Amino acid sequence: MLVRLILGLLITVAGLAFAARRAAWLAKLIRSGQPDEKRSDVMAVRAKTHLAEVFGQRKLLKWSVPGLAHLFTFWGFVILGSVYVEAYGALFDHDFHIPLIGHWAVLGFLQDFIAVAVLVSLAVFAVIRIRQAPERKERASRFFGSHTGGAWLILFMIFNVIWTMFLFRGASAAVGVFPYESGAWVSLGVGELLEPLGTSVTEPLETVGLLLHIGVMLAFLSIVLYSKHLHIFLAPVNVTAKRLPDALGPLLPMESGGKPIDFEDPGEDDTFGRGKIEDFTWKGMLDFATCTECGRCQSQCPAWNTGKPLSPKLLIMDLRDHLFEKAPYILDGKEAPEERPLVGTKEDFGVIDPDVLWSCTTCGACVEQCPVDIEHVDHVVDMRRYQVMIESAFPSELGVLFKNLETKGNPWGQNNSDRLAWTKDLGFEVPIFDGELADDVEYVYWVGCAGAFDDNARKTVRATAELLHLAGVKYTILGTDESCTGDPARRSGNEFLFQMLAQQTVETLNAVFEGREPGTRKIVTTCPHCLNTLGREYPQLDGHYEVLHHTQLLNRLVRAGKLTPVKPVDAGPVTYHDPCYLGRHNKVYEPPRELVGATGATLSEMPRHADRSLCCGAGGARMWMEEQIGKRINLERVDEALGTDAETIVTGCPFCRVMLNDGLVQRQSEKRGENVTVRDVSQLLLESVRERDRTATEI
């Protein structure tokens, strides 16, 4: 008894000291990141998120089979902690049991049940890893680029925890010192198998099992702290520190040293974006260290799925490896002898290749799927900000975009006087803001640059305007007072240009809504990018408005009986494409689908839809950049739509409509989908609500 006590304590002290040294090093490294004061929300809200995502495994359960296996494994760690309490108690007292509950059969049953469930889960993980082996599936495997050897080692160590547990508990039962007389069905069964060996064998076997069980746990602890499986300890912290409600929708304002940058009078030491690894906040560094290399982000990334070099997983892994590589210099406060550029080509020994950085569409699929709440999009945009504003290193097409935005106030470079061209020949008068907002005007209709200047998008805004007119909704447009919200500038990294455009628009809107309470400052728009910027980013600039997407408002009008579909739409089978900035970024999934149903159309979903919808390829200012690597993303999405045999592809975003239409035109030139059209939800609804004997206005 004394020998095993001494041995048990010695390996524990040694194991914990080794682990504590690494844990202290990691904590110091992460704390070295830049301040981030935005993570101090109400703890009750963060506790709720923590419970749902950590203990409820909410995100992992979106992937049903591996999610369930991970749920059992996680709860195995939690529940089997009680077995280690019993194990350490047994070092001191052969007859130890947990006070109050130590003889409770239910606890014994739960311990054995979860251990068996973990074993089954290990088998599931093994099958998944064999079927998804990168050696066979290459880029199609979500484990491509991951450290698969380390993953197998972890599975092996978990297996060792389970079998040593049953050896220790079974031998304890055979010796007669097991706390449970019933309930612990596997342990008692092992005890019955061992009992015929006699106490001369089972007593030393119980000591060996106990020390092995403790030793495996301590070895496992150190392996975790020195491997990608850091997430076992860091994931709960990262989930608790996440952006609320999630890291999608608004981008974070630029800060330096934890304080917002004053773009009118920036400080001399202000850092614009992230130009080196130590420029990231502590949350960014925590993100890098937390990555599980599971590849769920990679499997959903439109860039990776079309042959681009960007993998959100590999990007985070590269940043993590660079952070650890540079850690000795960061912690010592010294400059590295040879500073690698954070963004640069292989020839320049860059950490992140420019083609990786600029392939991102900011669609948010990576953030949506990440089980540990890594904020990939924020990091991509922060690096873009440095490249644009400090290095002036960006795709040449963006130079044209920036010039158009700065001089013309729109990405197309069109004259502002053309913003009202879409209102011609509608058959009714579109109300234009005349300097004072009438009391009965409920909405400002934000047309947006696409709606004003793109021919296809004009069809959408015309249809929406006519529907609002038919429903008797009082609205007004700003006409030539409109300008770009700044979305493409911000997502391409030109934060200075965004600030200029956004402040101008906030001043305009605040003047329009002057005297109105916040709850009556309502805007409706057909563009999800405008929706997101006006409603969720302008509060950063003191612009507070209630912003609706046109599908949301139209759906309310249909439900209220103000718009009544009177005939089934002539569209054939329909498939709906979820715009990223309407769906994932703003969680609007049902209103467009309800409207499609209201028109009498038959909806056929694409395999990737709702929160797993594939991007059209236009986001992140990619709309204005050439796509020269791999397959065009819009072609991939059009191919998926054509696979549903739909005759109409419906969407609710002008950018998506352009991209899908361009892809469809190319496929039709190849004799595919020749009877297919791309339309906005509003066009289908308008066709359905018009009276049978009414001559349709051409839209």
Q: Clarify whether residues 421 and 544 are in a common domain.
A: yes
Number of folded domains in the chain? 4
Task: Return mean pLDDT, the chain.
Answer: 94
CA–CA distance, 234 with 221 (Å, rounded to integer):
13
In this prediction, residues 508-523 reach a mean pLDDT of: 93
| Euclidean distance between CA atoms 495 and 340, whole angstroms | 25
Question: Which residue, 339, 373, 393, sits at the end of a domain?
Answer: 393
- To the nearest whole percent, how much of the chain has pLDDT over 70? 98
Could you tell me if residue 39 is inside a domain?
no
Of 369, 393, 417, the residue that ends a domain is 393
Beta bridge partner(s), residue 573: none
**What confidence tier does 678 reach under pLDDT thresholds 50, 70, 90?**
very high
Tell me whether residue 234 is in a domain: no
Reported as a single tens digit per residue, the pLDDT across 144-176 is 999 999 999 999 999 999 999 999 999 999 999
Chain length of the chain: 699
The predicted pLDDT at position 697 comes to 43
Q: What is the pLDDT of residue 43?
A: 64
Looking at the fold, whether 360 and 331 belong to one and the same domain comes out as: yes
User: What is the CA 128 to chain-centroid distance, rounded?
Assistant: 23
Same domain? 423 vs 308: no
Q: Are residues 532 and 652 in the same domain?
A: no
The DSSP secondary-structure symbol of 425 reads T
Q: How far apart are CA 600 and CA 80, in angstroms?
A: 55
| Residue 247 pLDDT grade (very low, low, confident, very high; cuts 50, 70, 90) | very high
> 292-305, pLDDT tens digit by residue?
999 999 999 999 99
pLDDT for the residue 698 = 41
Full 3-state SS string of 287-337: HHHHCCCCCHHHHHCCCHHHCCCCCHHHHHHHHHHHHHHHHHHHHHCCCCC
Residue 626: inside a domain, yes or no? yes
Three-state DSSP at 149 gives helix
Residue 158 to residue 311: CA distance in whole angstroms: 29
Q: What is the arithmetic mean of pLDDT over 570-583?
A: 96
3-state helix/strand/coil string of 100-158:
CCCCCHHHHHHHHHHHHHHHHHHHHHHHHHHHCCHHHHHHHCCCCCCCHHHHHHHHHHH
Place of tokens 């592809």: 649
CATH code: domain of residue 339: 1.10.1060.10
How confident is the model over 422-431, as pLDDT tens digits?
A: 999 998 999 9
Evaluate whether residue 564 is within a structural domain. Answer: no
Q: How deeply is 439 buried, as exposed, middle or buried, from its count of CB atoms within 10 A (0-12, 13-18, 19+)?
A: exposed
The whole domain housing 378 covers 255-393
> Poorest-confidence range of 37-46, 206-215, 456-465?
37-46
Specify the residue for token string 């612009």.
543
Pick the more confident residue, 424 or 229.
424
47 in any annotated domain? no
Q: Give me the pLDDT at residue 699, please.
A: 45
Locate tokens 């696979």: which residue? Answer: 643
Residue 40 has pLDDT above 80, yes or no: no
pLDDT band at residue 528, thresholds of 50, 70 and 90?
very high
User: Is the predicted pLDDT of residue 571 greater than 90, yes or no?
Assistant: no
Looking at per-residue pLDDT, the higher value among 336 and 397 belongs to 397
